Amino acid sequence: MGIREDISFRELNNLISEFNIQVDALKEVKISSLSASSHLFRLEPERLTDPQYRKIHFPEDTFVISTPAIRDIACFPHLVGKILAERCQEAATVSIQVMKELWALSPSRLIIYDILRAAPGYRMAEGFQELGWLLPHIQIRPHYRVVSYRDHLGNSRIMEVLMEDFSALSSSPEWTVIKPDTEASGNTSKIAIERLIIEAKKKRTKIKEIICLGFISVPAIGVLEELAEKYNFKLKILAWGNITALYQNNYDMPVYGLDESIWREHKKIRKLGSIIPLAVLKDYLPYYIPGADQPGDWSARQSKVSTGKGWEEGGIEKHLQNSFQFINNIYQLSQKQPWFYPWHKKIIDKELKQLIKEMKNRSL
């Protein structure tokens, strides 16, 4: 993975320093199932230099997978609906190949835990079906009582469970749980995993391990590992692209950039950097808008989402409008910063044009 000609190594190193991006803590793992364009990395926590990140107890099995599809999903919020589903399917297929080889998965005691509405968008079920594995599903729908777009603080953190179905747990004495989801604050996982453990006990089955896959933040891993220690299951992480930083609002998950939410609320500058391999950062830089939320509103990017009782519209038009406004806010905050380079402006302009184009196409 090289770096585009108009991005100098001086600029690259300046961004790494400015945002304390953790580029040295992930070591590449060679694995036979990966093509030349995809890469797998294992976290070496002792190589982290960020004091806050060093406080986190990372599980032994913490990996990052990088593919062109994952990069596109993270960098291009205009990718929605059918195109997003296709990229997610590509990423799911590669992720499953990696999990099979890393952890010797067997279909007999493997179950998918869908956190509704968003998690089926990671296309795990379809990926396993490509192998001929028709895995059982369990599901839960936690719901924020207060509208929570870009705000998972205060009253917005209060959640309720609208539906759940754990009936498939009865068919095996122990399970490896595949849990695809966007893990920002870990709030949803806390409810979902605690309910899973309670139901497993009722059905006299054991949760042996949980594999969390998708866009995952550093703080969320801390929450997940605490749950693993409390309930005695093994936690495994396969993060898409990087282990993300997290905004003060407990929602947005950037590669690097300024925390727009804390600036908007308190006029404070807070710099954020993720845990990302240097090679992957180089691959992202020509496309990524600093401060942007990589998964975005994951439900809203999808054409249809499951409620557990049926299917409903995801909310693509609203996602596109929100993304357009958010990127403009990021630009207004970042444009006069010394680390903001002319190629940053080009990336922003290009994505704004793509968002406008997508909005016009959907209004026809």
Q: What is the DSSP string of 276-331?
A: --HHHHHHHTTTPPTT--SS-STTTTSSEEE-SSSEEE--HHHHHHHHHHHHHHHH
Is the pLDDT at 162 greater than 70? The verdict is yes
Average pLDDT for 86-91: 98
On average, the pLDDT of the chain sits at 94
Average pLDDT for 8-18: 97
How large a percentage of the chain has pLDDT more than 90?
88
pTM score of the predicted model: 0.95
pLDDT of residue 148: 59
If DSSP states are collapsed to H, E and C, what string results for 155-171? HHHCEEEEEEECHHHHH
pLDDT of residue 4: 67
> Beta partners for 64?
41, 239
Is the pLDDT at 327 greater than 50? The verdict is yes
pLDDT of residue 91: 98
| Helical ranges in the chain per DSSP H | 9-18, 51-54, 68-75, 81-103, 124-130, 187-202, 218-231, 260-266, 278-284, 316-334, 342-363
Average pLDDT for 86-95: 98
pLDDT of residue 308: 87
- Whole-Å CA distances, 94 to 15, 35, 123, 299: 30, 9, 11, 22
Q: What are phi and psi of 218, to 5 degrees?
A: -60, -50
pLDDT of residue 152: 47
How far apart are alpha carbons 241 and 112 in whole angstroms? 22
Sign, CA torsion 262/266/269/270 = negative
Is the pLDDT at 229 greater than 90? The verdict is yes
pLDDT per residue as tens digits for the range 297-318: 999 999 999 988 889 999 999 9
Using pLDDT thresholds of 50, 70 and 90, give the confidence band for residue 364.
Answer: low
How far apart are alpha carbons 83 and 10 in whole angstroms? 35
pLDDT per residue as tens digits for the range 105-157: 989 999 999 999 889 999 999 999 999 999 999 999 998 877 655 554 555 56
pLDDT of residue 266: 94
Q: Taking the chain, what is the end-to-end CA distance rounded to the nearest angstrom?
A: 39
User: What class has domain 9-363?
Assistant: alpha beta
How far apart are alpha carbons 190 and 192 in whole angstroms? 6
pLDDT of residue 171: 78
How large a percentage of the chain has pLDDT more than 70?
95
Which range has the worst mean pLDDT, 55-59, 170-174, 195-199? Answer: 170-174
Average pLDDT for 158-184: 93
Give the residue among 320, 303, 315 at the shortest CA–CA distance from 120.
303
How far apart are alpha carbons 255 and 74 in whole angstroms? 9
How far apart are alpha carbons 261 and 185 in whole angstroms? 15
pLDDT per residue as tens digits for the range 253-302: 999 999 999 999 999 999 999 999 999 999 999 999 999 999 999 999 99
Give the residue among 185, 189, 233, 228 at the shortest CA–CA distance from 207.
233
